[in-house]
Amino acid sequence: MRNAIDRRLLSAWLVLCALTLLYLVIDHSTADAGETRRALITVAAVVVSLAKVRIIMREFMDVRHAARWLRGLTDGVVALVAVALIGSYAAGAAWG
């Protein structure tokens, strides 16, 4: 049984590394990229990073097997952070 758990941890790690390397692809943006393109990249970066955070929580921190209230709470925090970050960026872009 431990081997199965180890394999699952390894798969999670591989997914996280792949998502990290994905950022190299995004890096093709230059400083002259238009506002829309930059906003899209920003939102994409935030969403991908929060997806990684959730994977770390679920797989590495073992929230997957934890009590329901903890699962709900961690998901809630991830969602809240997503809204806060994207909201801040949107607010700055709108009122800056």
Partner 1 sequence: MSTTFDPPAEAAAAAPVDWDRASRDNVPGQPDIWLFVLFETLVFAGYFGFYLYNRPRHPGAYLAAQQELHLPLGIVETLTLLTSSLLIARSVEAARSQQWNTALRNAYATASCGVLFLTLKVIEWISEARAGNTPISNEFFSYYYFLTGLHLLHLLIGFAFLGVLVHRLRGPAARSREVIETCGVYWHTVDYLWVLIFALLYVVR
Residues at the contact surface with partner 1, assessed by CB under 8 A: 2, 5-6, 9-10, 12-13, 16-17, 20-21, 23-24, 26-27, 29, 31, 33, 35, 37-38, 41-42, 45-46, 48-50, 52-53, 56-57, 59-63, 65-67, 70, 73-74, 77, 80-81, 84-85, 87-89, 91-93, 96
CB of 41 to partner 1, least distance (A): 5
Cα–Cα distance measured from residue 69 to residue 17, given in angstroms and rounded to the nearest whole number:
29
- How many CA within 13 A on the CB side of residue 94? 6
Cα–Cα distance measured from residue 40 to residue 50, given in angstroms and rounded to the nearest whole number:
15
